Amino acid sequence: MRTRLTIGISLLPLLFFCLCFSIIGCVTKNPGQEILTDKSTFLSHLDTLQARYDLTSTLKTKEMRVTIQEADQEPDELRELLWYKKTDDGANLLHIQALGAFNDPRAVAIANRDQFLLVLVEEQEGYLGELSDGVLRKIFGIDLRVSDVLSAIFANPFLDGRTEKIKVKGSGNKFIVTRPGVEVGHTETIVMLIHGNEPQITEWRIVDEQGVLQQSAFFSDYRVVDGILRPHKVEIQRAPEQTRVVVKIGRVELNGEIKDSKFELDPIINSGIEILPFSELPALDDS
Residue length, the chain? Answer: 287
Write out pLDDT tens, residues 120-152.
888 888 889 887 666 666 665 555 555 555 665
Residue 247's pLDDT band (boundaries 50, 70, 90)?
A: confident
Between the two ends of the chain, the Cα-to-Cα distance in Å is: 5
Which residues lie closer than 8 Å to 156 by C-beta, 6 or more apart? 18, 49, 50, 52, 53, 150, 201
67-71, 87-91, 147-151: which has the minimum mean pLDDT? Answer: 147-151
CA dihedral 109, 256, 92, 95 (to 10 degrees): 0
Give yes or no for residue 1 having a pLDDT over 80.
Answer: no
Question: Are 192 and 199 in contact, with CB atoms under 8 Å apart?
Answer: yes
**pLDDT at position 239:** 83
Give yes or no for residue 5 having a pLDDT over 90.
Answer: no
Quickly count: other Cβ atoms within 10 Å of residue 138's Cβ. 19
Question: Are 220 and 233 in contact, with CB atoms under 8 Å apart?
Answer: yes
CA distance 235 to 207: 17
Residue 238's pLDDT band (boundaries 50, 70, 90)?
A: confident
**pLDDT at position 195:** 92
Q: Report CA-CA distances (Å) from 245 to 13, 97, 129, 145.
A: 7, 17, 26, 19
94-98, 142-146, 269-273: which has the minimum mean pLDDT? Answer: 142-146
Instruction: Look over the chain and give the mean of its residue pLDDT values, rounded to a whole number.
Output: 79
Residue environment code for 115-135, b if the CB has 16+ CB neighbours within 10 A, otherwise e: ebbbbbbeeeebbbbebeeeb
| Average pLDDT value for residue range 195-218 | 92
| Residue 75 DSSP symbol | P
- Comparing CA positions, the residue from 219, 227, 246 lying closest to residue 18 is 219
Question: In order of start, what are the domains of the chain with their CATH numbers?
Answer: 2-277 (2.50.20.10)
CA distance 69 to 6: 9
